[in-house]
């Protein structure tokens, strides 16, 4: 197998940070594409990353472009393009604008890279991932979204900080949607196999869950303009590594469901193993009635937004 080729769509903070981290992990050659009017800007940013590569032990070639022909034969297309959230905006406010963006992006990307796996970041990610699948014509398990990896990382960070333990020892999964109705699975969360519920009081655990649910909004409000990009880029890079290196890591992944967990024609966060083909398999984890009720509500809301705005 030759060198992987990765396209990152969107040359903003998240896209450029993702390109830098992909280079740092030496996952393949990278093309960052943005709108034609931003071609020189994205070329300048990617040249800067390319010149950093030899100092960081990476052999990756990194280029910027405004022409999808330069993305041809990509193994992975990472989509970060879209309107970012601003203070006071909900993720749902982004639906109409970003639904229009994704149709153009996916159509062009697949034209030149028909065998690529597509990894979506653009919010609201459950809706945009589902639309990307519909517009792409690709098998559903080759079009996936990032949200649970980021939300899980936020939860792990807050738990580790609260308990004064290493965050890498904290494990959790997030089900459902990326937002206020997400379901961090506290029942199966642990610190080195010690159940979290044995380490944290119910009241404190509820506070940590609440902060996780509002993690993105907290950063948006602090920044005033723009939204998080370092942690989202790190989450994309972890997923890209599992796909391109066939690491078969299990992540909470926005997945286009076709009967799993009782849902169809909707994309939601569920545990899945990622490898060269995208989603290699979906993990069927039994949910309690209370947990299932939360995910049912999320699924209904996502479907409602699809019907209302798209």
Binning pLDDT at 50, 70 and 90, where does residue 94 land? confident
Averaged confidence pLDDT in the chain: 94
**80 is in which domain, residue-wise?**
5-145
pLDDT in tens, 133-150: 999 999 999 999 999 999
Question: Given a cut of 60, is residue 153 above it in pLDDT?
Answer: yes
Residue 260 covered by a domain: no
Q: Which pair of tokens denotes residue 252?
A: 């909470």
The percent of residues above 70 in pLDDT, for the chain, comes to 96
pLDDT surpassing 90 at residue 51 = yes
d(CA 223, CA 239): 26
pLDDT band at 88 (very low <50, low <70, confident <90, very high): low
Identify the band that residue 197 occupies on the pLDDT scale cut at 50, 70 and 90. Answer: very high
Show Cβ contacts of residue 92 under 8 Å, excluding neighbours closer than 6 positions. Answer: 124, 305
In-domain check, residue 74: yes
Residue 257 inside a domain? The answer is: no
Does 104 map to a domain? yes
Cβ proximity of 124 and 151 under 8 Å = no
**Per-residue confidence (pLDDT) for residue 233, from 0 to 100:** 98
Which residue's entry shows tokens 């959230």? 85
pLDDT in tens, 19-38: 999 999 999 999 999 999 99
pTM of the model: 0.95
Whether 90 has a pLDDT exceeding 70, the answer reads no
Please identify every residue annotated as catalytic: 178
1: pLDDT strictly greater than 60:
no
What stretches of the chain show up as alpha helix (H) in DSSP?
A: 13-24, 39-52, 95-112, 125-136, 148-163, 202-213, 215-223, 230-244, 289-309
User: Domain for residue 150, yes or no?
Assistant: no
The CATH code of the domain that includes 70 is 3.40.50.720
CA distance 146 to 120: 6
Residue range 117-122: mean pLDDT, rounded: 97
Query: Of 309 and 307, which is predicted with more confidence?
Result: 307
- Stronger pLDDT, 88 or 168, i.e. the higher one: 168
Total tally of structural domains belonging to the chain? 1
pLDDT higher than 80, residue 272:
yes
Considering the domain boundaries, does residue 93 fall inside one?
yes
Q: Is residue 174 part of a domain?
A: no
pLDDT for the residue 308: 77
What is the structure's pLDDT at 226? Answer: 82
In a domain, 76, yes or no: yes
């Amino acid at each position: 197998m030759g060198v992987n080729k990765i396209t990152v769509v969107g040359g903003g903070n998240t896209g450029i940070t993702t390109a830098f981290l992909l280079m740092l992990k030496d996952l393949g050659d990278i093309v960052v594409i943005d709108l034609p009017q931003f071609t020189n800007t994205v070329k300048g940013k990617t040249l800067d990353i390319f010149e950093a590569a030899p100092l960081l032990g990476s052999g990756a070639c990194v280029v910027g472009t405004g022409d999808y022909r330069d993305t041809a034969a990509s193994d992975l297309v990472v989509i970060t393009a879209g309107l970012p959230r601003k203070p006071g905006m909900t993720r749902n406010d982004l639906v109409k604008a970003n639904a229009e963006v994704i149709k153009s992006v996916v159509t062009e990307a697949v034209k030149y890279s028909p065998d690529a796996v597509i990894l979506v970041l653009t919010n609201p990610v459950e809706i945009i991932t589902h639309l990307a699948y519909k517009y792409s014509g690709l098998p559903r398990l080759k079009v996936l979204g990032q949200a649970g990896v980021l939300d899980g990382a936020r939860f792990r960070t807050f738990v580790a900080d609260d308990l004064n333990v290493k965050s890498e020892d904290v494990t959790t999964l997030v089900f459902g949607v990326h937002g206020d109705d997400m379901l961090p699975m506290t029942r199966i969360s642990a610190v080195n196999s010690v159940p979290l519920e044995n380490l944290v009081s119910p009241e404190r655990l509820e506070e940590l869950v609440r902060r996780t649910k509002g993690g993105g909004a907290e950063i948006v409000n602090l920044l005033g303009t723009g939204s998080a990009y370092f942690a989202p880029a790190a989450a994309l890079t972890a997923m890209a590594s599992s796909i391109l290196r066939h690491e078969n890591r299990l992540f909470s992944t926005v997945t286009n469901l076709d009967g799993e967990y009782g849902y169809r024609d909707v994309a939601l966060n569920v545990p899945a193993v990622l490898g060269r083909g995208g989603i290699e398999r979906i993990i069927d984890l039994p949910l309690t009635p209370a947990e299932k009720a939360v995910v049912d509500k999320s699924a209904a809301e996502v479907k409602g937004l699809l019907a209302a705005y798209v």
